[in-house]
Amino acid sequence: MKKLINKPEDFVRESLEGMAVAHSDLIKVNYDPTFVYRVDAPIRGKVAIISGGGSGHEPMHAGFVGRGMLDAACPGEVFTSPTPDQMLEAAKQVDGGAGILYIVKNYSGDVMNFEMATELVRSEGIPSLNILIDDDVAVKDSLYTQGRRGVGTTVLAEKICGAAAEEGYDLSQIANLCRRVNLHGRSMGIALTSCTTPAKGTPTFELGDGEIELGIGIHGEPGIERTNIKSVDEITEILTRSLIEDTAYTRTVRQWDEDKGEWTDVELIDPPLVKGDRLLAFVNGMGGTPVSELYLVYRKLAEICQQQGLQIVRNLIGSYITSLEMQGCSITLLKLDDEIIRLWDAPVKTPSWRWGV
């Protein structure tokens, strides 16, 4: 293992210490329990947006704390869910009196711990809701999830909902917006290589020199097919077609019923893409992929969408959800409307993402 680290057990803490020093004008870090929060939090009357998950996916989520995105982020150890006490203390730190919205990737550990945290936060008298992101079309169920995994749409939801919170949306409005973003987002990824977690010191999985894994998860979970290496155009065609041809997906999600004061199961339907839809196209690097290669992917993606009558009106290209040093990429397509476009274009200023300020 060759990594720029000291001791594996100090990896997450020391990384956060470096981030805090580099961006002291934007964020602060609490270390017991660990969470990252905005320097200007709490903001009175504003819904606070919190997310989190295992470390190793940076800049998600800590790099997105700041104006126009997250109020706080709760990092766990590498590829390990944060704990409910992190989420509770983060909520208490950033609560501005308008409630907390947790944005949660659909992984079993995250789902369980964020649900526990939501109940703890509500017991403190703070209104709170959590919304699951489950946009990975590759795998319906896995060892890590019930239903689809949460991947690329997570970052898009954090940006869009963060902008809505800055505009003064209330908790129920932002929750409904986040559900809509999730329903209209779909993602799929590919791995060319594995990654190595600092604590383990060996690759998470093995790929031969001429092999790739289609439909890989961001923690190195198996995909849908292991196949021989292909050209970037062929790979992009497989990923893009999988997203465009994905049929209506019905999911059962848990939502908080304010009238009953309890969680209830609600069935939501994800409609397929159709000709004329406006899209945000997100080409994401997995940590070890040069941006020049990501533009090769975007080149082919844009060509296919044009052929299918789909209009890419916004894009995002870069490494925003990584898997340590894994080589590979993912593509996310998000169907847009006027409201979501406006919120996407709104100013943002975080350690890893800023425009319009």
DSSP line for 219-274: TS---SEEEE---HHHHHHHHHHHHHTPPPEEEEEEEEETTTTEEEEEEEEEPPP-
Cα angle for residues 337, 339, 343 (degrees, 5° grid)? 115
Q: Which residues contact 347 (CB under 8 A, 6 or more apart)?
A: 67, 68, 355, 356, 357
CA dihedral sign of residues 37, 114, 268, 283: positive
Token duo for residue 277: 């839809």
User: What is the maximum span of the chain, computed from C-alpha positions, in angstroms?
Assistant: 57
Out of 23, 57, 61, 184, which one is annotated catalytic?
57
Cα(330)–Cα(236) distance, integer angstroms: 9
Question: Is 219 considered catalytic here?
Answer: yes
Which residues, at least 6 apart from 192, have a Cβ–Cβ distance to it below 8 Å?
Answer: 207, 212, 229, 289, 326, 327, 328
Which of 23, 61, 184, 219 does the annotation list as catalytic?
A: 219
Q: Which residue reads 């490494």 in tokens?
A: 319
Q: Are 282 and 331 in contact (CB under 8 A)?
A: yes
Q: What's the full length of the chain, in residues?
A: 357
Strands of the chain (E only): list them.
27-31, 34-38, 48-55, 72-78, 100-105, 128-133, 185-191, 211-214, 225-228, 249-257, 262-270, 278-285, 311-318, 328-335, 348-350, 353-355
Catalytic annotation present for 23: no
- Active-site residues, by number, are 57, 219
